[in-house]
Amino acid sequence: MTSDTPRRSGLRGLGHAGPSPWTDLDRPPLDAAALRRDLLRPGGLWTSLDVVEETGSTNTDLAARAREGAPQGAVLVAEAQSAARGRLDRSWSAPARSGLFLSVLLRPDGVPVERYGWLPILVGVAAASTLSRVAEVEVGLKWPNDLQVGIDGAERKLGGILTELSGGAVVAGLGLNVSLREAELPVPTAASLSLAGAVVTDRSTLLRALLREFAVLYGEWTAAAGDPHASGLLRAYADRCTTLGRPVKVLLPGDRELLGEAVAVDGDGRLVVRTPDGARRAVGAGDVVHVRPEPRVTE
Q: What is the pLDDT of residues 132-157, one digit of tens each?
A: 999 999 999 999 889 999 999 999 99
Segment 155-162 mean pLDDT:
96
Residue 2: its pLDDT value, please?
40
Return the percentage of the chain with pLDDT > 70, whole number.
86
Q: Which CATH architecture has domain 244-290?
A: Roll (2.30)
Cβ 77 vs Cβ 51: under 8 Å: yes
Look at residues 249, 247, 245, 244 and name the one whose alpha carbon lies nearest to residue 234.
244
- Give the largest CA-CA distance in the chain: 69
What rounded mean pLDDT belongs to the chain? 89
Please tell me the number of Cα atoms within 13 Å of 65 on its side-chain side. Answer: 25
Please report which confidence band the pLDDT of residue 226 belongs to, taking 50, 70 and 90 as the band edges. very high
Give domain 2-239's CATH number out of 3.30.2350.10, 3.60.21.10, 3.30.930.10, 3.40.50.300.
Answer: 3.30.930.10
Q: Tell me the one-letter amino acid at 259.
A: L
Cβ 202 vs Cβ 178: under 8 Å: no
The pTM of this model reads: 0.87
Residue 299: its pLDDT value, please?
41
Please report which confidence band the pLDDT of residue 89 belongs to, taking 50, 70 and 90 as the band edges. low
Domain boundaries defined on the chain:
2-239, 244-290
Please report which confidence band the pLDDT of residue 16 belongs to, taking 50, 70 and 90 as the band edges. very low
Residue 287: its pLDDT value, please?
85
Residue 268: its pLDDT value, please?
93
